[in-house]
Structure 1
Amino acid sequence: MLSVENIDLHYGAAQALKGVSLTAKAGKVTCLMGRNGVGKTSTLRAIVGQHPVSGGTITLEGEAITSMAPYQRARKGIAIVPQGREIFPLLSVKENLETGFAATSERTIPESVFELFPVLKDMLRRRGGDLSGGQQQQLAIGRALVTRPKLLVLDEPTEGIQPSIIKDIGRAIEWLRDQGTMAIVLVEQYFEFARDLADTFAVMDRGEVVMQGTRESMVESEMRAHLTV
């Protein structure tokens, strides 16, 4: 589904990514892990087109998307749930969900959004800014799903979220994976959450992927060594 090959990324003179490669397959969760500031979010920005790469290639279903704008990638089937959620606080829950229509010809909210997150159906007329942090995170994921993505990218979806909603988000990711049609890339620092969900891992340090493999092949103690400060 997604292939990232040997990408470099710079912010001015500072190099944030050095030869990063990873893949994401339909029906699988690929988890990107590492300490703060090692390049995880920069990798996601490169994938969704929010920041240009200075080397390497990115392909989706075999098509090169390296030079595509973010809106073009969204229409190709890439959706992101950003760190910080970035919902529209003055729009209603329904209006926030409908902003996903911009990336698809569909004009309906999939019923699966409300099956995964029933609270959204109960709060359709509430303003996004009135929701709790956990509810806003569910809204951000729901908005991404409205685009009917082929690739769903989630940037630390458990950050600052209460445990009960973390479980709801985990169940939603499992359900989406098990449909077998969507590739999921998850950036996560909460190790237990990632361990239970991921099929493959890529661990980053100082802008590079330093460990990569399937859940079965990864050594937990070695992974944790790259996550501790």
Structure 2
Amino acid sequence: MLAVDNIGLHYGAAQALRGVSLTAAPGRITCVLGRNGVGKTSLLRAITGQHTTSSGSISLDGRPIDGLAPYSRARRGIGYVPQGREIFPLLSVKENLETGFAQLARRDRTIPDDVFSLFPVLHSMMARRGGDLSGGQQQQLAIGRALVMRPKVLVLDEPTEGIQPSIIKDIGRAIVYLRDSMGMAVLLVEQYLDFCRELADHVLIMDRGEIVLEGAADILDTAAARRHLTV
């Protein structure tokens, strides 16, 4: 289980996170929502080690990961799908997937069959350059690359952004499969409310760097949630 306890994060004098706590448990989808600029991506960057927290603690399976470099956190079991996908446009689909091998022992450096069962289009495009794929296909590739690492916790930053509805459904089905069939912990930052409403076991809403509301997915239909989510 991923546990974030009362963390703060600063960019110079500006405080981006204020006492944020959450858990992402195996076999559950935890969704974080909020307007632009409230600290959602900063939260994920703190969890993945891209930014150092100024207070609080982060642990995985009861072991602290504070201070570990991003590659060490990946090695411990955190798979990250960043906003904007960040695939390598000049590498082939196969080569992009194989970049996930970096954190694995040599004997484990294979692409899991689940990647192709979840996203069959990747199998048929193995020789294509990543930059030649559509936005939705690139998003599937980014998720597949994270799954190559065999993560315990899959962290996704707005995977539906700019994606066509048919691919959003495919991504939703893949996330549900990872939860239900593989028992994976999924931490999802999202702005697409219907996507979270359909998938999430637990929802947290952020505003001004803090968690201001949390509960089951039906809190998204409350006046309090709408107050923090509407522009």
TM-score by length of 2: 0.97
| Map 1:176-187 → 2, pairs under 5 A | 176-187=178-189
Query: Measured at CA, do residues 180 and 224 of structure 1 come closer, stay the same or move farther in structure 2, by a change above 3 Å?
Result: farther
Aligned-partner Cα distance in 2 for 1:181–1:190 = 24
Q: Deviations over 1:45-83 (max 9, x none)?
A: 000000000000000000000111101000000010000
Deviation at 1:195, TM superposition (A): 0.5
Secondary structure of 1:32 counterpart:
strand
Q: TM-score, normalised by structure 1?
A: 0.98
Q: Is this contact kept in 1: 2:196–2:217, CA < 8 A?
A: no
Deviation, structure 1 residue 180: 4.6
Pairing partner for 1:211 from 207, 210, 213: 213
Match of 2:94, as an amino acid? K
**Take 1:180 and 1:199, find their aligned partners in 2: how far apart are those partners?**
16
SS, match of residue 26 in structure 1: coil
Task: Look up the match of 2:118.
Answer: 116
AA in 2 matched with 1:21: S
Aligned-pair identity (%): 70
Distance in structure 1 (CA, Å) of the matches to 2:225 and 2:130: 37
Among residues 206, 223, 226, which one is paired with 1:224 in the alignment? 226
Q: Distance in 2 between matches of 1:206 and 1:104?
A: 37
Query: In 2, are the aligned partners of 1:28 and 1:180 still within 8 Å (CA)?
Result: no
Q: Distance in 2 between matches of 1:170 and 1:185?
A: 13
**What are the superposed Cα offsets for residues 172-198 of structure 1, whole Å, 9 maximum, x if unpaired?**
001001025311000000000001000
* Number of the residue aligned with 1:188: 190
2:96 corresponds to 1:96: yes
Query: What is aligned with 2:50?
Result: 50
Alignment correspondent of 2:172? 170
1:3 aligns with 2:3: yes
Matched AA of 1:142: G
> Which secondary structure does the structure 2 equivalent of 1:153 belong to?
strand
Q: What letter is aligned with 1:165?
A: I
Counterpart of 2:6 in 1: which secondary structure? strand
Alignment of 1:44-83 (within 5 A): 44-83=44-83
Q: Aligned with 2:22: secondary structure?
A: strand
Deviates more, 1:173-182 or 1:128-137: 173-182
Partner of 1:141: 143
Runs of 4+ in 1 over 2 A off after TM superposition: none
SS of residue in 2 equivalent to 1:22: strand
Q: CA RMSD in A?
A: 0.9
CA shift digits 1:116-142 (9 cap, x unpaired): 000000000000000000000000000
What does residue range 143-162 of structure 1 map to in structure 2 within 5 Å?
143-162=145-164
**133-142 vs 219-228, which deviates more?**
219-228
Aligned length: 228
Give distance in 2, aligned partners of 1:181 and 1:29.
10
Unaligned runs of 5+ in 2: none
